[in-house]
Amino acid sequence: MIKVTIDGVEIEVEPGTTILNAARKAGGAIVPPAMCYYSKLKGSGGKCRTCLVKVTAGSEKDPRPMPKLVASCSTGVQDGMVVQNITSPEVVEARKGVVEFLLLNHPLDCPICDQAGECHLQDLAFEHGAAKTRYEEERRKFDKIDIGDKIQLHMTRCILCYRCVYTADQITNERVHGVLKRGDASEISTYIENVIENDFSGNVIDVCPVGALTDKTFRFKSRVWFVKPMNAHRDCSKCCGKTAVWLHGEEIYRVTGRKDQYGEVEEFICNECRFDKKSKSDWVIEGPREVERWSVIRQNKYEIGTQVQAPKNIGYGNITV
Residues found near ligand FES in the complex (CB under 6 A): 34-37, 45-51, 71, 73
Give 125 or 270: the residue with its C-beta nearer to ligand FES: 125
Choice from 20, 81, 94, 207 touching ligand SF4 (CB under 6 A): 207
Give 77 or 269: the residue with its C-beta nearer to ligand FES: 77
Give 3 or 49: the residue with its C-beta nearer to ligand FES: 49
Give 104 or 285: the residue with its C-beta nearer to ligand FES: 104
Choice from 164, 244, 269, 273 touching ligand SF4 (CB under 6 A): 164
> Does 115 interact with ligand SF4 (rule: CB under 6 A)?
yes
> Does 41 interact with ligand SF4 (rule: CB under 6 A)?
no
> Does 44 interact with ligand SF4 (rule: CB under 6 A)?
no
Give 10 or 184: the residue with its C-beta nearer to ligand SF4: 184
Q: Strand 2-6 relative to strand 151-153: parallel, antiparallel, unpaired? A: unpaired
Choice from 122, 203, 271, 295 touching ligand SF4 (CB under 6 A): 122
Residues 156/107, Cβ–Cβ less than 8 Å = yes
Choice from 79, 100, 109, 282 touching ligand SF4 (CB under 6 A): 109
Give 160 or 240: the residue with its C-beta nearer to ligand FES: 160
Choice from 2, 19, 41, 119 touching ligand SF4 (CB under 6 A): 119
Q: Supply the minimum distance, in Å, between the C-beta of residue 92 and ligand FES.
A: 16
Q: Supply the minimum distance, in Å, between the C-beta of residue 43 and ligand SF4.
A: 14
Q: Supply the minimum distance, in Å, between the C-beta of residue 33 and ligand FES.
A: 8
Instruction: Return residues touching ligand SF4 (CB under 6 A).
Output: 106, 109-110, 113, 115-116, 119, 121-122, 157-164, 188, 207-213
